[in-house]
Amino acid sequence: MEWYIKAFIRSALLWFAAGIALGVGIALFPQWLIYRPAHAHMNVAGFLTMLVFGVGYQLLPRLFGHPLHSHRLAVAHLFLANIGLAVLIAGFLVPPNSSPAGRWLTASGGVVFAVGVVCWIWNLWRTFDAADARQRARTQSEASGRRPLPTLDP
C-alpha cells in the first residue's frame, strides 16, 4: 500500500478523533453549540471523505486493472485536502463565526479542499480512461488474432 493511502486513512482517524472530542465538548458545554459546523465537517469531510479518498486510491485502480494515473497528484491531493479542511474548520472556530476573518478562512479552506477533490476526480478519471483504452486495445487485438496485451484481469 502506498504511503499516501495510509496517510489518508490515518488523517481520517485523526479527524474522527477530533470531531468526537469536539462533540463531547459540545455535550458538556452547551454554549459550544456554535461550533457544530466544525464538528460536522470534522466528522463528515474529515473522517468519511478522507477515508473514501484513501480506500478509493487503494481499491479503484485495482478494480479497473490499471495503475493510478499520477502518484504525485495523489500526494498533492493529500496535502490540499487536509490543509484546506484545517483552514475551513479554523474559520468555523473563529468566534464569533460571522466575523470577516472566519468567513475568509472558511471560504479559502473550502476552495483549497475543493481543489484537492478535483485532483482526486481528475486522477481517477484518467486512470479509468487508460484502463478503458487498454481494454479496447485488448479486445481489438483478440479480434484480429494477435496476442492480447497483458493485464491484471484474470
Distances in Å between the alpha carbon of 22 and those of 25, 39, 97, 132, 142? 5, 6, 16, 44, 58
pLDDT per residue as tens digits for the range 21-31: 999 999 999 99
Cis peptide before 96 (omega within 30 of 0): yes
pLDDT in tens, 32-72: 999 999 999 999 999 999 999 999 999 999 998 899 999 99
Contact predicate 93/34, CB 8 Å = no
**Other beta carbons within 10 Å of 147:** 7
Question: How far is the C-alpha of 148 from the C-alpha of 116, rounded, in Å?
Answer: 36
Q: Count the Cβ atoms, other than its own, within 10 Å of residue 35.
A: 20
How far from each other are the two terminal CA atoms of the chain, in whole angstroms? 21
Give residue 65's pLDDT: 87
Q: pTM here?
A: 0.86
- Provide the pLDDT for residue 154: 52
Round the average pLDDT of the chain to a whole number and report it. Answer: 91
| CA dihedral for 14, 24, 88, 90, sign (positive or negative) | negative
